[in-house]
Structure 1
């Protein structure tokens, strides 16, 4: 994962239908899961990245969705 974070954010935002609110909900929910011990679904060094950055990578790579995190569309 050597992409610039701006590219990852843009890709993750596109996966969320360009809805920043939905993206922030998904990142927050997944970062919380990672903080509670969940294993990353992408190949990254979890000791070098923040949980929110790992969540962004996962969303950008279609590993998780907001719906898959237990949230419903609003």
Structure 2
């Protein structure tokens, strides 16, 4: 899947709010940096953390409620 398609799907999942998407990606990247395991089948060594976070959001595995639970 192309990056543009992943971003479009991620935006759909959060109500087309780009500001919310950027905050959600940032929060998830912080979690991944702190040692959280990716929820999608993407290698941390070969993919950017922001790409992993975006794909997790696009696939519906990460939502704003889930990020809030982690107290970030």
TM-score, normalising length: structure 1: 0.88
How far does residue 68 in structure 1 lie from its aligned partner after superposition? 1.0
Equivalent position of 1:50 in the other structure: 48
Equivalent position of 1:70 in the other structure: 68
How far does residue 46 in structure 1 lie from its aligned partner after superposition? 1.4
- Which structure's relative contact order is higher, taking Cα pairs within 8 Å and 6+ residues apart? 2
Name stretches of at least 5 consecutive residues in structure 2 with no aligned partner: none
Distance 2:18 2:64 in 1: 12
Name stretches of at least 5 consecutive residues in structure 1 with no aligned partner: none
Judge conservation of contact 1:44–1:54 (CA < 8 Å) in 2.
Answer: yes
Distance 1:26 1:67 in 2: 10
| Residue 8 (structure 1) aligned with residue 10 (structure 2) | no
Tell me which protein shows more helix as a share of its residues: 2
Distance 2:41 2:30 in 1: 19
TM-score, normalising length: structure 2: 0.91
